[in-house]
Protein backbone atom coordinates (compact mmCIF):
# COMPACT_ATOMS: atom_id res chain seq x y z
CA UNK A 1 0.00 0.00 0.00
CA UNK A 2 1.40 3.42 -0.95
CA UNK A 3 1.65 6.21 1.63
CA UNK A 4 -1.17 8.16 -0.03
CA UNK A 5 -3.70 5.29 -0.25
CA UNK A 6 -5.15 5.68 3.29
CA UNK A 7 -5.66 9.41 2.66
CA UNK A 8 -7.24 8.73 -0.72
CA UNK A 9 -9.66 6.27 0.89
CA UNK A 10 -10.68 8.84 3.52
CA UNK A 11 -11.12 11.55 0.87
CA UNK A 12 -13.21 9.31 -1.40
CA UNK A 13 -15.23 7.71 1.38
CA UNK A 14 -15.80 10.29 4.11
CA UNK A 15 -15.40 13.60 2.31
CA UNK A 16 -16.74 12.95 -1.17
CA UNK A 17 -19.18 10.37 0.17
CA UNK A 18 -20.81 12.89 2.50
CA UNK A 19 -24.38 13.93 1.71
CA UNK A 20 -23.43 17.53 0.84
CA UNK A 21 -20.56 16.51 -1.46
CA UNK A 22 -22.82 14.03 -3.24
CA UNK A 23 -25.65 16.58 -3.48
CA UNK A 24 -23.52 19.19 -5.26
CA UNK A 25 -21.63 16.61 -7.35
CA UNK A 26 -18.01 16.85 -6.13
CA UNK A 27 -15.46 14.50 -7.69
CA UNK A 28 -11.79 13.75 -7.12
CA UNK A 29 -9.38 14.54 -9.96
CA UNK A 30 -6.09 13.82 -8.20
CA UNK A 31 -4.41 13.46 -4.83
CA UNK A 32 -0.78 13.67 -3.83
CA UNK A 33 0.78 14.45 -0.48
CA UNK A 34 -0.26 18.04 0.25
CA UNK A 35 -1.96 18.59 -3.13
CA UNK A 36 -5.53 17.72 -4.07
CA UNK A 37 -7.69 18.61 -7.07
CA UNK A 38 -11.47 18.37 -6.92
CA UNK A 39 -13.92 18.96 -9.75
CA UNK A 40 -17.44 20.32 -9.57
CA UNK A 41 -19.33 19.84 -12.84
CA UNK A 42 -21.77 22.59 -13.73
CA UNK A 43 -25.29 21.77 -12.55
CA UNK A 44 -28.40 23.95 -12.60
CA UNK A 45 -29.10 22.83 -9.02
CA UNK A 46 -25.97 24.74 -7.87
CA UNK A 47 -26.87 28.16 -9.31
CA UNK A 48 -28.11 31.26 -7.56
CA UNK A 49 -29.60 32.92 -10.65
CA UNK A 50 -29.36 32.23 -14.35
CA UNK A 51 -26.25 30.12 -14.79
CA UNK A 52 -24.16 31.70 -11.99
CA UNK A 53 -22.84 29.14 -9.50
CA UNK A 54 -23.87 30.07 -5.95
CA UNK A 55 -21.11 31.49 -3.74
CA UNK A 56 -21.99 29.06 -0.96
CA UNK A 57 -21.44 26.14 -3.33
CA UNK A 58 -18.05 27.59 -4.27
CA UNK A 59 -17.18 27.98 -0.57
CA UNK A 60 -18.22 24.38 0.05
CA UNK A 61 -15.93 23.26 -2.78
CA UNK A 62 -13.06 25.22 -1.18
CA UNK A 63 -13.79 23.76 2.25
CA UNK A 64 -13.90 20.13 1.10
CA UNK A 65 -10.78 20.58 -1.04
CA UNK A 66 -8.89 22.09 1.92
CA UNK A 67 -9.85 19.26 4.25
CA UNK A 68 -8.81 16.75 1.58
CA UNK A 69 -5.40 18.42 1.24
CA UNK A 70 -4.99 18.42 5.02
CA UNK A 71 -5.85 14.71 5.16
CA UNK A 72 -3.30 14.03 2.42
CA UNK A 73 -0.67 15.87 4.50
CA UNK A 74 -1.44 14.24 7.84
CA UNK A 75 1.28 12.12 9.43
CA UNK A 76 -1.31 9.50 10.43
CA UNK A 77 -4.78 8.90 8.97
CA UNK A 78 -7.15 11.10 11.02
CA UNK A 79 -10.25 9.87 12.81
CA UNK A 80 -12.00 13.16 12.20
CA UNK A 81 -11.55 16.87 11.98
CA UNK A 82 -13.11 20.23 11.30
CA UNK A 83 -12.49 23.48 9.50
CA UNK A 84 -11.63 26.12 12.09
CA UNK A 85 -11.22 29.06 9.69
CA UNK A 86 -12.12 29.78 6.08
CA UNK A 87 -11.54 33.07 4.29
CA UNK A 88 -12.60 33.25 0.66
CA UNK A 89 -12.17 35.93 -1.97
CA UNK A 90 -14.42 35.76 -5.01
CA UNK A 91 -12.51 36.99 -8.06
CA UNK A 92 -15.06 36.53 -10.87
CA UNK A 93 -18.49 35.01 -11.41
CA UNK A 94 -18.67 31.33 -12.29
CA UNK A 95 -21.16 31.40 -15.15
CA UNK A 96 -22.18 28.03 -16.55
CA UNK A 97 -18.83 26.31 -16.10
CA UNK A 98 -17.32 23.36 -14.30
CA UNK A 99 -15.06 24.35 -11.40
CA UNK A 100 -11.71 22.86 -10.43
CA UNK A 101 -10.32 23.42 -6.94
CA UNK A 102 -6.58 23.01 -6.41
CA UNK A 103 -5.75 22.78 -2.70
CA UNK A 104 -2.14 22.98 -1.49
CA UNK A 105 -1.08 22.51 2.10
CA UNK A 106 1.06 25.48 3.14
CA UNK A 107 1.82 24.25 6.65
CA UNK A 108 1.14 20.90 8.21
CA UNK A 109 1.44 20.53 11.98
CA UNK A 110 0.54 17.70 14.30
CA UNK A 111 -3.14 18.66 14.27
CA UNK A 112 -3.48 22.00 12.49
CA UNK A 113 -3.06 22.40 8.73
CA UNK A 114 -3.13 25.62 6.70
CA UNK A 115 -4.27 25.21 3.10
CA UNK A 116 -4.57 27.56 0.11
CA UNK A 117 -7.32 26.72 -2.38
CA UNK A 118 -7.51 28.14 -5.89
CA UNK A 119 -10.75 27.65 -7.79
CA UNK A 120 -10.91 28.08 -11.54
CA UNK A 121 -13.67 27.95 -14.14
CA UNK A 122 -13.01 25.06 -16.53
CA UNK A 123 -9.55 24.83 -14.91
CA UNK A 124 -8.45 28.10 -16.55
CA UNK A 125 -10.12 31.35 -15.41
CA UNK A 126 -9.64 32.16 -11.69
CA UNK A 127 -12.96 32.32 -9.81
CA UNK A 128 -12.00 32.32 -6.12
CA UNK A 129 -9.14 31.85 -3.70
CA UNK A 130 -9.44 30.66 -0.12
CA UNK A 131 -7.18 30.30 2.90
CA UNK A 132 -8.40 27.54 5.19
CA UNK A 133 -7.26 26.23 8.57
CA UNK A 134 -8.20 22.61 9.27
CA UNK A 135 -7.81 20.77 12.56
CA UNK A 136 -7.51 16.98 12.31
CA UNK A 137 -7.77 14.56 15.22
pLDDT tens by residue, 65-92:
999 999 999 999 999 999 999 999 999 9
pLDDT band, residue 2 (cuts 50/70/90) = confident
Which residues have CB under 8 Å from 86's CB, separation 6+? Answer: 59, 62, 63, 66, 130, 131, 132, 133
pTM score of the predicted model: 0.96
All structural domains of the chain: 5-136 (3.10.129.10)
Rounded distance between C-alpha atoms, residue 67 and residue 44, angstroms: 26
Interval 103-121 mean pLDDT: 97
Amino acid sequence: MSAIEPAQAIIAGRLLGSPVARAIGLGLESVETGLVRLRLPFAETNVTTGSMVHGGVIATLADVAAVAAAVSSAREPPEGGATSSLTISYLAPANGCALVATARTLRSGTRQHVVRVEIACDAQRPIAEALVTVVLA
